[in-house]
Amino acid sequence: MPFAINLRCDNSTCDPLRALWNEFGELEPSPSMQAMDYPPHLTLAIWEDIAQDHLTATLNNLFDNFTEVTARITHLNFFEAPHAIIAWAAPELPDAVADLHARLHASIADPPSRLNYQPGHWIPHCSLATNIPPQQKQAALDLVHRAIDPFEVVFDVADIASFLPVEVLHKKQLAATR
């Protein structure tokens, strides 16, 4: 079962993301994000197999003095997977998040995380739908390529989760900045 370290939004600033979940979920056979029963989030890394105590110690150490993160969502985008389109919101993040991401991967170099989460490969994103069928690609692209009114999301919790199903194994409330 894979394990992830995430920044997540446990407050009302994520309401615009949840509205986008609903909109993109209409293109899926079953809305994927709602089915996870997990808040909007930004995944920093995923490991296929790693000791949970090592992850917990790393999370506690890295996030000890880390404050909540305000991201500005300015546009939407997508990944094309072999059997699905993945729609996502593109966050503009403070430099501290890129530094945190690099320190996380330096702290846990072995085993390595999934390649697409490693430094140099990571594309920060907030998933909106993960299972849009290929036959809905044009409808998804129409939604992705439209202009949106930018909005801010405050990520106020760091956690370790296993999935699927999602189970939060450890969490840390981040210090408020507002």
The answer to whether 61 touches 107, Cβ cutoff 8 Å, is: yes
Q: Is 177 exposed, middle or buried (0-12, 13-18, 19+ CB in 10 A)?
A: exposed
What are the residues whose beta carbons fall under 8 Å from the beta carbon of 149, sequence distance 6 or more?
Answer: none
pLDDT category, 178, cuts 50, 70, 90? low
Question: Amino acid identity, residue 116?
Answer: N
CA distance 131 to 167: 20
The per-residue pLDDT for 109 is: 87
74-88 pLDDT, tens per residue?
Answer: 999 999 999 999 999
Prior bond of 134 cis (ω within 30°): no
Find how far residue 22's CA is from the centre of its chain.
17
pLDDT in tens, 142-162: 999 999 999 999 999 999 999
Sign of the torsion formed by the C-alpha atoms of 97, 103, 107 and 110: positive
Q: Read off the pTM.
A: 0.94
- Coil/strand/helix, residue 118: coil
Phi, psi of 67 (to 5 degrees): -95, 165
Query: Left, alpha or beta for 8 (phi > 0: left; psi -120 to 50: alpha)?
Result: beta
What confidence score (pLDDT) does residue 177 get? 82
Report which DSSP code applies to 66.
P
Handedness of CA 106, 112, 118, 121 (dihedral sign): positive
**From CA 59, how far away is CA 146, in angstroms rounded?**
37
pLDDT at 55: 94
Q: Can you identify the CATH homologous superfamily of domain 3-173?
A: Cyclic phosphodiesterase (3.90.1140.10)
